[in-house]
A and B are shown apart, each in its own frame.
Chain A
């Protein structure tokens, strides 16, 4: 085996072109989400009142294993992906451990976190549906910042409620 570098970078063309839906491989699926009024499983129509239609479809689909990542989203991902898998040689040395420690670092974008991966997807589908804007909540601000950036990329209004 070749020596493992500090950072393993994939090439841009090695970036996944599909998302993986783990529910497809679960024999026992997560229980369906319920309409709070009727306590019956939520229908696509009901869910589309809250979420974009494509996202509502993704939410309810527990059998399709792979979803194509739309080209616009893949192009956006290239701004900050693939993210490095880092071999924590310095931490291993500090701990004096025989273990090999790796970490996937998702902090190299304006939101400082992995949150941009989903923000851009959700903004993309909102734009595709012709919406004016979206609302959301945020804690420390990573998600709110990710969504703000994604909305500005697709020229959507973004309203954030912050705890």
Chain B
């Protein structure tokens, strides 16, 4: 990031009011994306000529990411391939939303049918265990409220969670499509995700990002089901990126130090209780 001229500040920092508040309330916290968002928004609002930008969750981001799905569809069409399943990892929903948009559009227009699956970490299960309600998009509660599947903006994934996709909520578009049953969702545990990543890396020659590996895990599960049934399904998944930013996570996995922490109902109840009353 600094090579490209950016300044990088670890969050929660002491540079912003919200960062100082979170550091005071939760000393030693490992932070969360929701908290870092609040800091970035505050920094934008307090400097002339600056705006805040977000890499996921927003409708505009899903719009830009639709280039993934449009290309995927064009490539499949070029060879006359009809996808049966489309699988994507879901954190804030930017990759998943972008990948599935044109396919979901066909379903919404009644032109085709697909089995679309969102895969999320068991340690941050917004679709599979969250509630569909208005919530803050950030811990500091400065961003607009969005109706989405959420674990509550105060939810912070356990510190040993290493697989990305740690956002407490979900794109309101993906949430609504899920609510309309255009897509389904599954949660997977991180050690099984890294096992899938290892299998994939060894045969396909790409070190996948942990978040992408959530999709790999379910694609492999589904391909193995086809082995049982003999079905020749066309399974398409999004390999969102490479894993070179996540060497610490891979190290933990290879050292056998990775564990699975799944939040209890009690954990989730606490953060969901804090949802705003709208």
Contact = CB atoms under 8 A, between A and B. Distances in A.
A43 B232 CA distance: 49
Interface string A100-133: 1111111100011111011101110010011111
A44 interface: no
A22 B242 contact: no
B67 to A, nearest CB: 5
B35 interface: yes
A98 to B, nearest CB: 5
A50 B235 contact: no
A19 B70 CA distance: 8
Contact of B59 (A1, A58, A90, A162): A58
A21 B233 CA distance: 28
B185 to A, nearest CB: 16
Nearest to B229: A98
Interface in B174-227: 175-177, 180, 199-200, 202-206, 208-209, 212, 215-216, 219-220, 222-224, 226-227
Contacts of B13: 161
Contact of A104 (B35, B44, B72): B72
B206 A105 contact: yes
B51 A52 contact: yes
Contact of B53 (A95, A107, A134): A134
Interface string B93-110: 011011101101100110
B52 A134 contact: yes
Given A33-B145, A50-B41, 13 more contacts: A15-B71, A33-B144, A42-B144, A51-B52, A58-B63, A67-B63, A112-B245, A119-B55, A122-B64, A135-B51, A145-B1, A145-B4, A163-B33
26 contacts: A4-B81, A19-B64, A26-B108, A26-B177, A34-B145, A39-B145, A59-B60, A82-B75, A83-B71, A97-B224, A99-B222, A104-B68, A106-B95, A107-B239, A107-B242, A114-B65, A121-B64, A133-B50, A135-B50, A137-B33, A143-B55, A145-B4, A148-B5, A159-B43, A160-B7, A162-B9
